[in-house]
Amino acid sequence: MGILERKQRQMEETRNTILEQSWQIVEEEGWQALSIRKIAEAIEYSTPVVYKHFESKDAIIEEFTKQGFGLLAEKLKNAKIQHDQPDQQLIAISHAYWNFAFNHAKHYQIMFGLGIPTCEMIHGIDEMKKVNDLMLSSIEYAIESGKNLDADSHLKLRTFWSILHGLVAIEMLSARNCADTALQTLDDAMEGFIKALTT
């Protein structure tokens, strides 16, 4: 192995170590505790080493956001391909989204810290675009299969994402933690959404 290849490998190993330690800090102390100095202390390097790989804390958060959307896209795709009918696809997607939010709460919190993604964000992050496109294709399929052919699929997508994000946020912030009632609310919201989409 040449010198250049060895340096590349060492750079990649250091980058991965930074991400691993960053995630450990997040898991133990939450996102607000993450800082470049704390990461440097955890990996036993100076802060310039961290800055060599990530220009700021925001760059590390962006990396975790990409990871989260990549994982979410995979979960939604797996749920969607289990069903042929558009209404069943949308219900399956909504349940997969819900389960992801609570099974990967740390990722979800950083992915949606500022609400649902904007158009600029979606077009700028490939992983986010995959999630967006998975949802949009099922919505377009539902519109084509129903009677409301003039429905604006992009408006409906925003409504769909708002319903999911809103219900997850309410449940995450709720002290009651009524999982059964929360899922009933999700199913009720999806039933109403699908009906409005197709009739």
Helix (H) or strand (E) holding 177: none
Domain chopping of the chain, boundaries: 3-55, 59-198
Task: Note the Cα 83 to chain centre separation in Å.
Answer: 22
**Span 52-67, average pLDDT:** 93
Would you say residue 185 has pLDDT above 80? yes
d(CA 87, CA 111): 26
Among 145-149, 155-159, 160-164, name the one with the lowest average pLDDT: 145-149
Q: Can you spell out the DSSP letters for 11-58?
A: HHHHHHHHHHHHHHHHHHH-GGG--HHHHHHHHTS-HHHHHHH-SSHH
pLDDT in tens, 115-154: 566 677 777 888 989 999 999 999 999 999 989 899 999 9
Sign of CA dihedral 113, 118, 124, 128: positive
Residue range 3-55, CATH number: 1.10.10.60
Place of tokens 């042929």: 84
Report the 10 Å Cβ neighbour count for 135: 24
The mean predicted confidence, pLDDT, of the chain is 90
Residue range 59-198, CATH number: 1.10.357.10
pLDDT at 175: 60
**Span 162-178, average pLDDT:** 82
Of all residues in the chain, what percent are helix, strand and coil, respectively (each to 5)?
A: 80, 0, 20
pLDDT band at 112 (very low <50, low <70, confident <90, very high): confident
User: Percent of the chain scored above 90 by pLDDT?
Assistant: 67
**Joined tokens for residue 173:** 């912030």
d(CA 126, CA 113): 18
Backbone angles phi, psi at 84, to 5 degrees: -95, -35
